[in-house]
Amino acid sequence: MPTRLTRRQALVLPAGVALGSLVGRSAMAAEPIKIGLVAALSGQSAKSGEGITRGITIAIDEINARGGLLGGRMLELVRRDDESNPAKGQTAARELIDKEGVAIIFGGIDSPVSLAIAPLMNTAKVPFMGVWAAATNITRNGANPNFVFRVSAVDVLVDRALIKHAMTSFSSKKPGLILVNNGWGESNLAGLTAAAEAAGIKLAAAEKFDDKDADMTPQLQRLREAGADTLILVGNAAPGAQVVKGLQRSAWTVPIVSHWGISGGRFPELAGSWAGKVHFVQTYSFFGSQNDVGKRVLAAMMAKYPDVKGPGDVTPPVGVANAYDAMQLTALALAKAGSTDGTKLREGFLGIESYQGLIKNYTKPFTDDNHDALNENDYVMVRYNGDQIEPITG
């Protein structure tokens, strides 16, 4: 309905502004709250970006169906492809802040990209939410105030879980490390070294590879000669598949325990018949008994995405689950803040008392000293069965 002014109201407002200002305020109230996403939407890790997109979208659908936030404003997802490239990730983040006016940016699978974006976000005073990249120093970055939060694994904690699994499932006494040669690999080298020492075992050796390496034979041969009785793998889907194919070619049947980067792309297709031998970490599985949130999210996924016909089709589950909970926590923070202002939104995150989520029931998920909502008790070990990710039982 058009805004109607009395003659008296019109006279006390500046000429040419009366109607426009009131209409403008009404339009402002209806402006969407833009949620940014910078993730791998193409290339070998595109599946990770799709999973994150779906998790955020299911949460946004629920929030908007409840009437939105901040007086009826709808949430709108605005995505940019970082192509797994730190420089492109920074450019995309700047564009989302400067041109799109996003309230927050969600990050993707690649730790080097998130590590490049985090300082930019702290300078701009716009919150950044990690939902996959696990490098420890993404959140533990020394900034004060720190605008970076995360609902995801943390390398220093995952590394303890990987060492523990290698010891309990494979009786490992001398694991060997094979790690991507970037900031994520460095983060895990430090974490795995400390975890092995704390567990009272000695690492056989550590080898590195570049993301585009097509032959891991030299690194694998050195690890074999060093007496590695398990391999702990840290890498994304394509190089991870090359590690597995290298083991198959050399007929070395050493057990493999992996970080979750292999679940963000076409690992089963690329690795072939040995893909199912790899045990790796996730934060959630849609298999088995589900809480009420899990049932609701799975039903929403099946209704919205024709390719999802059951729990095994929610791939990668970690991208969906982390992003869903992170978006719901962001909604709580926005409501606490009463604003999209970055500083107020940061305080909103710190003010969340509890949230009954998909992954777990959160109590004070973020504090001044800890911007990571998940810990080592929130991890589950899984493996591929064909294209599906299933929990390891027994």
Is there a domain that residue 50 lies in?
A: yes
Which residue from 19, 104, 113, 16 is spatially nearest to 60, judged by alpha carbons? 104
Give the angle 119-194-230 at the CA atoms, nearest 5°: 110
Instruction: State whether 44 and 83 are in the same domain.
Output: yes
Q: Which of 226, 259, 282 is the last residue of a domain?
A: 282
Q: What is the pLDDT of residue 30?
A: 77
Kindly report the pTM of this predicted structure. Answer: 0.85
Q: Per DSSP, what are the bridge partners of residue 381? A: 281
Instruction: State whether 82 and 103 are in the same domain.
Output: yes
Q: Which of 267, 282, 297 is the last residue of a domain?
A: 282
Q: How many domains does the chain have?
A: 2
Is there a domain that residue 321 lies in?
A: yes
- Percentage helix, strand, coil for the chain under 3-state DSSP, each rounded to 5: 50, 15, 35
Instruction: State whether 148 and 293 are in the same domain.
Output: yes
Is there a domain that residue 14 lies in?
A: no
pLDDT tens digits for the chain (394 residues)? 344 444 334 434 444 444 444 444 444 457 999 999 999 999 989 999 999 999 999 999 999 999 999 999 999 999 999 999 999 999 999 999 999 999 999 999 999 999 999 999 999 999 999 999 999 999 999 999 999 999 999 999 999 999 999 999 999 999 999 999 999 999 999 999 999 999 999 999 999 999 889 899 999 999 999 999 999 999 999 999 999 999 999 999 999 999 999 998 899 999 999 999 999 999 999 988 899 999 999 999 999 999 999 998 998 899 999 999 999 999 999 999 999 999 999 999 999 999 999 999 999 999 999 999 999 889 999 999 998 889 997 6
The whole domain housing 193 covers 156-282
Is there a domain that residue 18 lies in?
A: no
| CATH for 210 | 3.40.50.2300
Q: What are phi and psi for residue 98, nearest 5 degrees?
A: -80, -40
Q: Which of 226, 250, 282 is the last residue of a domain?
A: 282
Q: What is the pLDDT of residue 56?
A: 98
Asked if residues 110 and 184 have their Cβ atoms less than 8 Å apart, the reply is yes
Q: What is the pLDDT of residue 259?
A: 95
Is there a domain that residue 178 lies in?
A: yes
Instruction: State whether 144 and 250 are in the same domain.
Output: no
The three-state secondary structure class of 5 is: coil
Instruction: State whether 146 and 160 are in the same domain.
Output: no
Q: What is the pLDDT of residue 138?
A: 97
Instruction: State whether 298 and 217 are in the same domain.
Output: no
Is there a domain that residue 81 lies in?
A: yes
Instruction: State whether 368 and 309 are in the same domain.
Output: yes
Tokens of 270: 């690329």
Instruction: State whether 37 and 104 are in the same domain.
Output: yes
Instruction: State whether 56 and 145 are in the same domain.
Output: yes
Instruction: State whether 69 and 139 are in the same domain.
Output: yes
Instruction: State whether 111 and 221 are in the same domain.
Output: no
Is there a domain that residue 11 lies in?
A: no
Instruction: State whether 262 and 160 are in the same domain.
Output: yes
Q: What are phi and psi for residue 390, nearest 5 degrees?
A: -125, 150
Q: What is the pLDDT of residue 265?
A: 86
Q: What are phi and psi for residue 118, nearest 5 degrees?
A: -55, -45
Say which amino acid occupies 62. E
Q: Per DSSP, what are the bridge partners of residue 337? A: none
Is there a domain that residue 383 lies in?
A: no
